[in-house]
Amino acid sequence: MSDDGKLVMMANQIGRFYEPQRQVEPVAAIATHLRKFWDPRMRAAIIAHLDHGGAGLDIPVREAVQRLKAGA
């Protein structure tokens, strides 16, 4: 699995954790998690992956990475 594949898998796992939670807005929670807990290289890599089409990213994760990019 490529480095991008690993990041996509990890980001989607985070997304699946937050999606069913009723007390948070999933996209905002995913973006916050990525901002707080992923190092700058990981964040840059997932943003670059999105910029190149975002293959494999679940929709809420894709939206969260877009928010992350906008706030970066």
Q: Give the CA distances from residue 6 to residues 49, 53, 70, in Å, rounded to whole numbers and listed in that order.
A: 11, 16, 23
Express as a percent the part of the chain with pLDDT over 70: 97
- pTM across the whole model: 0.92
Provide the domain count of the chain.
1
Q: Range of 50's domain?
A: 3-71
Looking at residue 72, its pLDDT comes to 58
Q: Give the CA distances from residue 47 to residues 20, 21, 22, 27, in Å, rounded to whole numbers and listed in that order.
A: 24, 25, 27, 15
Give per-residue pLDDT as tens, 25-60: 999 999 999 999 999 999 999 999 999 999 999 999
Q: How confident is the model at residue 22 (pLDDT cuts 50, 70, 90)?
A: confident
Residue 68 pLDDT more than 70? Answer: yes
